[in-house]
Amino acid sequence: MIKVAALQMISTPVVQDNLDLAQQLLKQAQGEGAELAVLPEYFCLMGNRDKDKLTIQEHIGQGPIQDFLSHQAQSLGIWIVAGTIPLSTQRDGSSETVYNATLVYNPQGECVCRYDKIHLFQFQTDKEHYDESVTLKPGEQPSYFDVTTSQGETWRFGLSICYDLRFAELYRHYASHQVDVMLVPAAFTYTTGQAHWEILLKARAIENLAYVVASAQGGEHLNGRKTFGHSMVIDPWGKTLASMGLGQGVVVAELDRHHMLNQREQLPALNHRRL
């Protein structure tokens, strides 16, 4: 067993306000017994303009946001999957594009894993327009990490971010590497989330017979953007174990390894792949 938490926020253009809320939610998750907590995409900033993220970019291993995350993981004694933060694409100085990166911190406050968002979101209607490629550089490699629980179980977690959810091959890659839990920090738009969020999450869980933990932005932001929320935890059979609607809060659920292995034994679809 491992208890996990998906944290839902409505991040603002003020970094410190977002970090203060993240700290509050992390404490709540730890207080409810979570050993691992997942922050949403863009937890540290939802700027007034897309390029605002460039002004807070950090180099890997240094910067106030990374210092905050390391301190929180160590002081609370939990694993933190840090949604996304903007990491510089240049070794020295500021860059005109950044990686939208998930960093993972162990309970000792060490950054032990990094994943850069591979698939960059584009969407356009008469009322909405998004193009992440203007400010983001895509990542190239999937990434996963192992957690040994207080009970001595080892779980493998695979990393993805928001728009990645539409690309089943990423999650199939994780399944082929014995990943048990797919993590999806996100900032789905309300339009696309209302149409596809839950069904895509459940598809990724069912087709890979794995747990899915999705932490989302969830509400109306000061920059006018509206995100869908509905953070949730889904089991390998597609059952929703815990969820919330809009707003800010914590979704906590316990993952049962025996249950997952039993489902994989009853329906050994992962062993039947031919392509």
Q: Which of 218, 190, 197 is nearest to 46 (CA)?
A: 218
Neighbours of 77 (CB within 10 A): 13
Q: Which amino acid is at 268?
A: P
Of the residues 3, 53, 117, 202, only one is catalytic, namely: 117
3-state secondary structure 98-163: EEEEEEEECCCCCEEEEEECCCCCEEECCCCEEEHHHCECCCCCCCEEEEECCCCCEEEEEECCHH
Bridge partners of residue 96, in order along the sequence: none
Provide DSSP, 167-189: -HHHHHHHHHTT--EEEEEE--B
Spatial distance between the Cα atoms of 56 and 88, rounded to a whole number of angstroms: 10
Active site residue 96: no
Of the residues 41, 53, 137, 202, only one is catalytic, namely: 41
Neighbours of 152 (CB within 10 A): 6
CA separation (Å) from 252 to 4, 107, 244? 6, 18, 10
Task: Give yes or no for a contact between 111 and 130, defined as CB atoms under 8 angstroms apart.
Answer: no
Active site residue 111: no
Residue 74: enclosing H or E segment and its boundaries? helix 64-76
DSSP 196: I
Spatial distance between the Cα atoms of 165 and 38, rounded to a whole number of angstroms: 16
Active site residue 162: yes
Of the residues 3, 53, 132, 162, only one is catalytic, namely: 162
Residues classed as catalytic = 41, 117, 162
